[in-house]
């Protein structure tokens, strides 16, 4: 599992920072999460293939999280995209995008599907052979969701020496890897645990931005491999957090600690700060395994 941060700063783009957008690579699939201004430029800068993006997830309809979307959709047309594209986001995202395409006479040359969200409870919005994606209801000034992306468990690992010891035909390997016992020609049953080892634990990623401190999400994100949690403010400006629907670095760390996650990634920093290092320092007092998102940074979770 790998995260490429395209932008991770709050509110407005600057010459050296970008608003929220990131690409998660999990089980050989790419997912674009949020699409602030400049996203397609950063995709190119980070050498991410446009053609590999099939699903885009938009957390909420504040501009710093989706103003780059219609430009990216239009560029896909100019690149002669043929593959379908799925946009998952709050109710209204379809109207916003199609209105711009209509009046610019820029209809896509590929299938474009919108999956609009309105539930205040977690819901499964994507389910395929490799991953599942659920919404994480957030606490913000407008309707907002985070996204919980989970890798499905892999097949069991074949212990080839054990399999060959029992002279098991290769035709049965696939079933054994799926957990089946082996039955020899004489009727002897070889339990699966003697022939296989457990697969690697599936990885998972929770994206939680924008949100005020929200312990209601703890049960849903319990034990995830990676948690991206917004940390707009430092403690000196904590009085601004709740009224604006944002969190401090310490609050993000408290969520990570209480959810027993493996790694916390901070982001969505207010541009009022000259350095992001104090965010790690403050969060680290509560939760030790903290990483700082930054534009262009690649974060590994293994």
Dihedral, CA of residue 183, residue 189, residue 192 and residue 196, to nearest 10: -70
Classify 171 as helix, strand or coil: helix
The residue ranges of every structural domain in the chain are: 2-154+200-300, 157-197
Stated pTM of the model: 0.92
pLDDT at 46 over 80: yes
pLDDT at 155 over 90: no
The reported pLDDT for the residue numbered 200 is 87
Q: Please state, in angstroms and rounded to a whole number, the distance separating the CA atoms of residues 135 and 301.
A: 21
Residues annotated as catalytic are 64
Per-residue pLDDT of 98-146, as tens digits, reads: 999 999 999 999 999 999 999 999 999 999 999 999 999 999 999 999 9
**CATH class as words, domain 2-154+200-300:** alpha beta
pLDDT at 59 over 90: yes
At 197, the pLDDT band (50, 70, 90 cuts) reads very high
Q: For the chain, what percent of residues have pLDDT higher than 90?
A: 95
The reported pLDDT for the residue numbered 302 is 72
The reported pLDDT for the residue numbered 140 is 98
> In the predicted model, what is the mean pLDDT of residues 194-199?
92
> In the predicted model, what is the mean pLDDT of residues 28-56?
97
**Distance of alpha carbon 167 from its chain centroid, rounded?**
44
DSSP 120-178: SS--EEEE-SSEEEEEEE--SSS--EEEEEEEPP-PPEE-HHHHHHTT--GGGHHHHHT
90 vs 178, higher pLDDT: 90
DSSP 39-100: HHHHHHHTT--GGGEEEEE---SSGGGTTTHHHHHHHHHHTT--S-EEEEEETTHHHHHHHH
């Amino acid at each position: 599992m790998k995260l490429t941060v395209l932008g991770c700063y709050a509110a407005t783009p600057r010459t050296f920072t970008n608003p929220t957008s990131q690409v998660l690579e999990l089980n050989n699939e790419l997912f674009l999460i949020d699409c602030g201004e400049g996203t397609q430029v950063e995709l190119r800068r980070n050498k991410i293939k446009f053609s590999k993006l099939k699903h885009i997830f938009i957390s909420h309809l504040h501009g710093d999280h989706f103003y780059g979307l219609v430009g990216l959709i239009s560029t896909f047309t100019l690149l002669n995209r043929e593959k379908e594209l799925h946009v998952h986001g709050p109710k209204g995202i379809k109207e916003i995008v199609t209105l711009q395409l209509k009046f610019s006479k820029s209809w896509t040359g590929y299938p474009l599907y919108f999956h609009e969200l309105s539930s205040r409870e977690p819901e499964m919005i994507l389910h395929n052979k490799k991953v599942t994606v659920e919404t994480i209801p957030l606490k913000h000034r407008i309707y907002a969701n985070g996204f919980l992306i989970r890798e499905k468990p892999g097949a069991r690992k074949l212990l080839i020496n054990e399999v060959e010891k029992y002279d098991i035909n290769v035709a049965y390997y696939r079933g054994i890897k799926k957990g089946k016992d082996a039955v020899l020609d004489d009727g002897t049953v070889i339990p699966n645990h003697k022939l296989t080892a457990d697969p690697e634990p599936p990885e998972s990623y929770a994206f939680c931005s924008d949100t005020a401190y929200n312990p209601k999400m703890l049960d849903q994100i319990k034990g995830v491999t990676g948690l991206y949690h917004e940390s707009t403010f430092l403690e000196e400006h904590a009085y601004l957090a709740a009224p604006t629907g944002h969190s401090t670095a310490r609050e993000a760390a408290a969520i990570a600690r209480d959810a027993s996650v493996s790694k916390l990634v901070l982001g969505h920093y207010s541009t009022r700060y000259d350095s992001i290092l104090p965010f790690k320092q403050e969060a680290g007092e509560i939760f030790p395994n903290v990483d700082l998102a930054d534009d262009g940074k690649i974060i590994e979770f293994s």
